[in-house]
Structure 1
Amino acid sequence: MLTFINSLPPHDGDAARNALDMIMMAVSLDQPVQVIFQHDGVFQLINQQTHAIESKNPLVKYRILSDVFELEHLYVSATALAERQLEATQLAVDATPVSDSELYALLQNSSKVVRC
């Protein structure tokens, strides 16, 4: 299992966009992939007003990953959500909240981990 950990906010340089491109490439090549959002990376899952900053909305691509490529392994750190006073119901993409111990277990089942 290839694991991508997104920990940066959506508009902090190119890291979030580059991670999404790598995820799309891996999924399109039928690689087993799971994506974890933690720290400020949870903000990538919140609806954004992208026209104000002249960028494309990455949520559209995450929805494509779920709908078209059937990526079912999207996880979000429950701790990160709580620390940012967010609820899972506020997420624009269906991601499963996981505890720190569940996150650790997910990482143990990974053959490769890419931190973004």
Structure 2
Amino acid sequence: MGNKTLALCRTAPYGSALAREGLEAVLASAAMEQEVDLLFIGDGIFQLLGNQSPEKIQQKSQRRNLLALPMFGLEQFYVCASSLAERGVKPKLIEIPGVEIKTIEQPGALIASYQCVLSF
């Protein structure tokens, strides 16, 4: 993978600032022409669901950050298949315009292929 960085998106979108700050770090890295891949794993898969109403809990939507990622060259995301299954989320519920979603069965092998891994 060379000098690419893998960002592990592993936290739910709301309840803490970690998921939002992680996406902002990825956007900043991409803006500086750093090569970053994303793996949504664990509760992080909930970040990809479109039918959220964060205003009801007085939070700002993260959807805008996700939709901006293709403009910064991030046109492919990885999603952990077992995380989807464990949470009862069907892959067809995950759709980000301009992004190819790749469901992977062995996230450990993917993670091990990167020299730099950030976890949010």
Same fold (TM over 0.5): yes
Partner of residue 27 from structure 1, selected from 10, 25, 30:
30
Task: Count residues in correspondence.
Answer: 113
Which amino acid in the other structure matches residue 102 of structure 2? T
Can you list the C-alpha shifts for 1:38-68, whole angstroms capped at 9, x where unaligned? 11111011121122122222122111111x1
What's 1:98 paired with? 104
Identify unmatched segments of 5+ residues in structure 2: none
| TM-score w.r.t. length of structure 2 | 0.86
Q: Is the 8 A contact 1:33 1:73 kept in 2?
A: no
Are 2:51 and 1:44 equivalent residues in the alignment?
Answer: no
What's 2:116 paired with? 112
Taking the aligned partners of 1:12 and 1:77, their CA distance within structure 2 comes to: 22
Q: Is the 8 A contact 1:59 1:92 kept in 2?
A: no
Can you list the C-alpha shifts for 1:15-54, whole angstroms capped at 9, x where unaligned? 1011011101111011110011111111011121122122
Taking the aligned partners of 1:12 and 1:74, their CA distance within structure 2 comes to: 23
Shift of 1:84: 0.8
SS in 2 for 1:62: helix
Are 2:62 and 1:58 equivalent residues in the alignment?
Answer: yes
| TM-score w.r.t. length of structure 1 | 0.89
Shift of 1:91: 1.1
SS in 1 for 2:27: helix
What's 1:10 paired with? 13
Can you list the C-alpha shifts for 1:72-94, whole angstroms capped at 9, x where unaligned? 23111011001111111101424
Taking the aligned partners of 1:28 and 1:54, their CA distance within structure 2 comes to: 29
Taking the aligned partners of 1:72 and 1:107, their CA distance within structure 2 comes to: 19
The percentage of counterpart residues that share the same residue type is: 26
Q: CA RMSD in A?
A: 1.4
Identify unmatched segments of 5+ residues in structure 1: none
